[in-house]
Each structure stands twice: as C-alpha cells, then as structure tokens.
Amino acid sequence: MAGSLADSARRLTAVGNRPLPAAWLVSDPARLPDPMPVLRRMPRGAGLIWRPYGLAWAEALARGRALRRRTRARGMVLLVAGDWRLAAVLGADGLHLPEGLARRSVLAPALAWAKRQGRLLSVACHGPRALARARALNADMAVLSPVFPTASHPDAATLGPVRFTLMSRRAGLPTVALGGITPATAPRLRHSGAAGLAAVSGWDHTVSG
C-alpha cells in the first residue's frame, strides 16, 4: 500500500535524549547513487544517510550541496557517511560511521568535529560488539542491519525480527532498522524497540507528507 512504510515509521515510539527522524532514506553507490528523486517523495522531517563513496571531491561537493538544499527545504536531517570534512563543508546535521571506521584511530578528528559542533553521530552496526562500540562512542543512534534479506548484501546472514528486538532493547542507545525494510516487513518491527526504519528502495512508493 502506498505510504505504508512511512505509516509504520510513524507508529514507532521515539527514544533517546534528542529527537530523531523515524524514517531514513539510505543512498547506495550501486542501487541508489542519486537519492534526490526518492528524497522528493520522503515524508517531511525524515532523514537521509548519504554515502558518497567513490565520488571525487568536486562531484561529492556538488551533489552534497544540492542534497543539503533539498533536505533543508523539507526540514530533513542530512547525515554524511564516512567523511567528516565533507559533512563540515556542507553544514550537514551529522556524520554516519561505517562499522569498520568506528574501530580506527583516525576516528578522533571526526568525533571531535561532531562533538564540537553538536552534530548527530550515527554508527553502522551488525551485532552486539558493534553496538557496544557505538555506545562507547556516545553515538546518538545505531543503524542495525541486516534485519531481513536485502539486495545490497544478498549473501549476508540476517538478524530477523526476534534477534533485532533483543539487540535493540539491550543496545543502550536508539537503534534504526536497516536491511529488507519494506511495507510488508516493517509491521513486524512495530514492537521491536526500534527508533526508526531505514531503507534504500523501500520508500519507492511512499507518498510524501
């Protein structure tokens, strides 16, 4: 049903010390390199995790500025993945850290920027250890995946709604569900403790609001 994924996101109960969007669009270098067309159909106040992987600086800057204008116009939150310098230049609302980057010593300047500017910090997680790391970094949210089978990582083991729920409730910080989130699967997470739903292609038929 059109808009049902957005409806599922709205039914989630927000948790944490600062307000977070319940609906997140995630770009993908292969499946959704340009999120702008889908972004126009996202609910107002939603969030975008933009992953500018593989882009030269000039192209990333041009695309990022266009996305920043669009997200501001719609009251949306923009997180830049993996590059705090690009996030800073764009005036993004925060930074999203891939799980691997969250374990590296080069993380220090990124964390310093996020803390100094009062920006959101999101961390990609695939299990309890990564969630513990995100908590130790004082992240504002963890994007926990893959919950269901997903085209982005077709061979990856999935958490499933039961395991996701257990990890989400024990995480100690807001968790956002990613991986196979569609209008059909989202209702299975309604009572999971998730603070939000994230998808690459699941928003394709969402009606903006």
Q: What is the CATH number of the domain that holds 68?
A: 3.20.20.70
pLDDT at position 151 is 75
pLDDT at position 92 is 98
Domain that holds residue 88: 4-199
pLDDT at position 202 is 86
pLDDT at position 1 is 36
In a domain, 102, yes or no: yes
Buried b (16+ CB within 10 A) or exposed e, 5-27: bbbbbeebeebeeeebbbbbbbb
pLDDT means over runs of 10, the chain (209 residues) = 73 67 95 93 94 96 98 97 96 94 78 93 96 94 95 81 96 96 93 95 62
C-alpha closest to that of 114 among 129, 96, 135: 96
Strands 120-125 and 94-97 come out as: parallel
Q: Is 124 helix (H, G, I), strand (E, B) or coil?
A: strand
CB 42 within 8 A of CB 76: yes
In a domain, 17, yes or no: yes
pLDDT at position 105 is 67
pLDDT at position 4 is 75
pLDDT at position 107 is 87
In a domain, 73, yes or no: yes
In a domain, 205, yes or no: no
In a domain, 154, yes or no: yes
**Residue 208 burial (CB < 10 Å; 0-12/13-18/19+)?**
middle
In a domain, 140, yes or no: yes
Q: What is the pTM of this model?
A: 0.92
Q: Rounded CA gap, 198 and 144, in Å?
A: 10
pLDDT in tens, 71-111: 999 999 999 999 999 999 999 999 999 988 777 766 889 99
DSSP 98: -
The total domain count for the chain is: 1
Q: Residue 164: phi, psi to the nearest 5?
A: -60, -45
pLDDT at position 205 is 53
